[in-house]
Chain A
Amino acid sequence: MANYYDELLKICGFEDGEIKKEKLRIDKTFERLELGPEDMKTAEEWVRQNHDVELAGVRKLLRAWLKELLDMVLAKDEGKKIIYYGFPTIQGPGMAIKAAAPEELYVACPDVVLCHTLGQIFNKLTPVLEAGEENGLPPGHGLCTLQTIRVGGLAKGIIPVPDLVTGSSYYCDMGSKTDELLHEKYGHRAVYVDGSMDSRWGEYPEYLPQRVEFLGGQLNKLFEAVREVVGVEVTSAAWDKAMSISRHLFHSIGQLTQLAMADPMPISSVEVGLALQLSAGSTGKAITEGPEAIDILCQEVKQRIDRGIGVVEKGAPRVIDFAASFSDPSITHMMENAGLAVAATLLSAPPPKSIQPTTYTTPGEIRAEREMQSGIYHSSFGFAQRFVDAVKDLGLDGVIWGYQYNCRPMAEASHLIKEWVAESAGVPVLSLEMDIYDSRSYSAAALRTRVEAFAETLRVRKAVAKV
């Protein structure tokens, strides 16, 4: 007998046998998410409208996200110990923890998973946001909407209560305070990985070694907490294993982002984001299914390049955005429909190469040193400089500085970054106040006029340059 979700799941790359095999899990998950037949119709339309599902690679990516959603919602029922990390996060520790005990643990960033599933696939994130607002993070105060999703997800019983959470206390204050709020409510242990972004404006790429030692020590401390709370030892071998298995994923992502630079741009930035954020939100399906999905997508994108197929017209101005919306693909499509090739995001742009071989020996310090070099966790200036480098390295025509208004590390330098990038990279910069997690106020319609005007500016600029 057919299930009310069969059609949607097939669009998202599931096969009949798989749906049958996973039926009990799917039923249970969708019931908990309050997803019924009407929601499937909405989702089918939303996915067809916003995702390039003619590409098998895209379908497989959507499938990986949906399977991650099932794993997350059912993690407790299936006897897993649960660890959540925050976003943004230093890549590596989550993967290493998962690699230490892949069968026993569920390790992910649950709010990122909900954005990419309830948002990108079902267009039904609003009830979760509203639940978050009713349970501690009210609207109107500029509180992080990603955290609101986490609070709402827990309040609605969608996200299981974890055994341990760890927040990016080295970057923002909000994640840690939300962890505290949730600890007060549910009692789980929170480990704060602290740091201090205390460099002067203009200091990047220089940094004090003490910053590496401090942040590195904090990352090492996280592993001790994992041992205490869930009884799993994160050894150097586990770390190496994580790095080795994630190498394939990052290699594939790197290849995809390279291909996306072709002219005409062969694939929407929405789909590149689907691939990229798997590594930010998940340590399970990202590793087991992500690489294959991305490899298939790369093959398909290559074919499009060979045939000259693009999602925007050839010669369209190429821009870098901070990040594609996590929850609402229509925003990036609006930019592309305005005639802009969103060829890269700050999160997909290649990080700077390591300056020299490291002298640090602990996994935490090695990671911390890398993060100092990469800029984003160094300072707002380091963040700005990453844009400048990306524009120069990738030969881009403009920058969309779509800062997340309720993310204080971005808000504090909202205008400085625009000014610095425009001055140093020599290209126009559009500053857009955005919310990449919640598009209720910052929808595609609300932003369209400014984006269209910017696109026109870039087109004229390109035309003049040709003359």
Chain B
Amino acid sequence: MEIMHKLASHLKTRLVELNRAKQQGRKIVGYTPGGYLPEELILASGAIPICLIRGGDHSVVELTGAYLCRWIDTFCRAQIGYAVSGDDPYYSIVDLLAIPITDNHIRAISDITDHSTDIEVFPFGVPHMKEESTFSYYLHGITRLKAKLEALTGTEITKPKLREAISLCNRERELFREISLMRKSGPVPISSRDFVALNHASFLADKEVMVEILESLYKELKGRIALPDGHPRILLTGSTLAMGDSRVLDLIDEAGGEVVIEEFAEGIRPYWENVNPDGDLMKALAECYFMQRVPPAWFRPGNERRDFLIKLAKDFNVDGVIWYQLMYRESYKTESYYFPDKLKRDTGLRMLTVESDYDPSEMGPLRTRIETFIETIRGKRHG
């Protein structure tokens, strides 16, 4: 697709653009993924948001041995590795690192970056339940972030500026949603690898360029007639799908499976809901980013997400679920024990759980397990 080339070319020069913008006085605000940071606030302050979403590289994880023990999630250790390396282009460019604290793994990024690097860190809490008091706490957190961004940039985040940013981000979410929904049934017009690549790109790209690209792609896909392929349809879910961590997607692809829908706490932008552009905009942001967002496994209880996965499995007519978690993320590990029963009960589907520490030596066992799973689904279909 031509449009994917355009995107690749934009990303290729993105760092140069960011450096130029920084030299011209614009602030760059980095943030950790998870879907709890309203980019609208950063955009409305005149700063540039970049989500620190890269992972998949074991050598970066190895750098963290001097900073913490191994029992912390692989992706989070990778972020610490990038931060402490001192030469990572993205971590080096940020003027502020905003960290929505979702669990103790993300807290490790905050504490170690704060203590061991010169990067200024701004943590704020994301509670683990949806209640009036937790909503208030989250709202208070993003209100503090708003004040911090205003102080950093010297720009007041006015209502019109915020509404404009909301409108842009809403359009991006809408387009992701529309494109994703094209995969609901029948032939799939866009591969999961491309859809995930778009998602990852949206964390780093200029927002307006990204929306333009998504608009063009949406039009192109609407006119495209995809041919039926008969590949087993897979729901891919888990804790984190980082930019650069493509092994599971590749292996599913090589085994002849087709991922038709992805659900991840980190790495896939939550695109199912939009921010209400009317009324109290800060409350509207908190509503969308905290209350309406399907929460990750570190919410307690995690029923909402598990029900959502069942719904996705049915709506996207999938043949099986692959649960991809990173090592030591205990919330996902614990859920992976009891979710398969619910899945089986409610949909009759089977689930494969795979785990990674970004270690290249995992490839062999991963390949075998994924191939066997896809083969079993095929056998079931034909049997």
Contact = CB atoms under 8 A, between A and B. Distances in A.
Interface in A199-217: 199-202, 208, 210-211, 213-214, 217
A411 B330 contact: no
A283 to B, nearest CB: 23
A141 B111 contact: no
B377 to A, nearest CB: 25
A184 interface: yes
B221 to A, nearest CB: 39
A196 B127 CA distance: 6
Nearest to B120: A200
B301 interface: yes
Interface stretch (A72-80, A167-175, A247-255, A317-325): A167-175
Interface in B111-148: 111-112, 114-116, 121, 123-129, 133-134, 136-137, 140-141
Given A136-B337, A141-B327, A141-B330, A413 B114 contact: no
Contact of B331 (A173, A183, A405): A173
A136 B334 CA distance: 7
Given A181-B334, A192-B300, A198-B124, A214 B69 contact: no
Contacts of A143: 330, 333-334
Contacts of B67: 415-416
A416 B330 contact: no
B328 A142 contact: yes
B297 A177 contact: yes
Contacts of A58: none
Contacts of B327: 141-142
B68 A196 contact: no
A256 B110 CA distance: 38
A433 B333 CA distance: 22
Interface residues of B, number: 46
| Chain A interface bracket (under 10, 10 to 19, 20 to 34, 35 or more) | 35 or more
B174 interface: no
B266 to A, nearest CB: 15
B133 A214 contact: yes
Contact of B301 (A138, A190, A197, A415): A190
A196 B101 contact: yes
Contacts of B101: 196-198
Given A136-B337, A173-B103, A198-B141, A408 B128 contact: no
A420 to B, nearest CB: 8
Most buried by B among A167, A201, A213: A201
Nearest to B137: A214
Contact of A405 (B69, B103, B337): B69
Nearest to A143: B330
Contacts of B134: 194, 214
Contact of A411 (B66, B68, B129, B331): B68
Given A141-B330, A180-B302, A416-B111, A185 B338 contact: yes
Contacts of A184: 338
A181 B338 contact: yes
A111 interface: no
A208 B123 CA distance: 13
A261 to B, nearest CB: 31
Interface in A134-183: 136-138, 141-144, 167, 169, 172-174, 176-181, 183
Contacts of A137: 334, 337
Interface in B76-132: 101, 103-105, 107-108, 110-112, 114-116, 121, 123-129
Contact of B108 (A192, A210, A413): A413
B104 A172 contact: yes
B122 to A, nearest CB: 8
B137 A408 contact: no
B298 interface: yes
Given A380-B107, A411-B69, A414-B68, 19 more contacts: A136-B334, A169-B128, A173-B103, A173-B104, A177-B300, A183-B301, A184-B338, A190-B301, A194-B134, A196-B137, A201-B115, A210-B137, A214-B133, A214-B136, A412-B107, A413-B112, A415-B68, A416-B111, A416-B112
Interface of B: 66-69, 71-72, 101, 103-105, 107-108, 110-112, 114-116, 121, 123-129, 133-134, 136-137, 140-141, 297-298, 300-302, 327-328, 330-331, 333-335, 337-338
Interface of A: 136-138, 141-144, 167, 169, 172-174, 176-181, 183-185, 190, 192, 194-202, 208, 210-211, 213-214, 217-218, 379-381, 403, 405-406, 408-409, 411-416, 420, 433
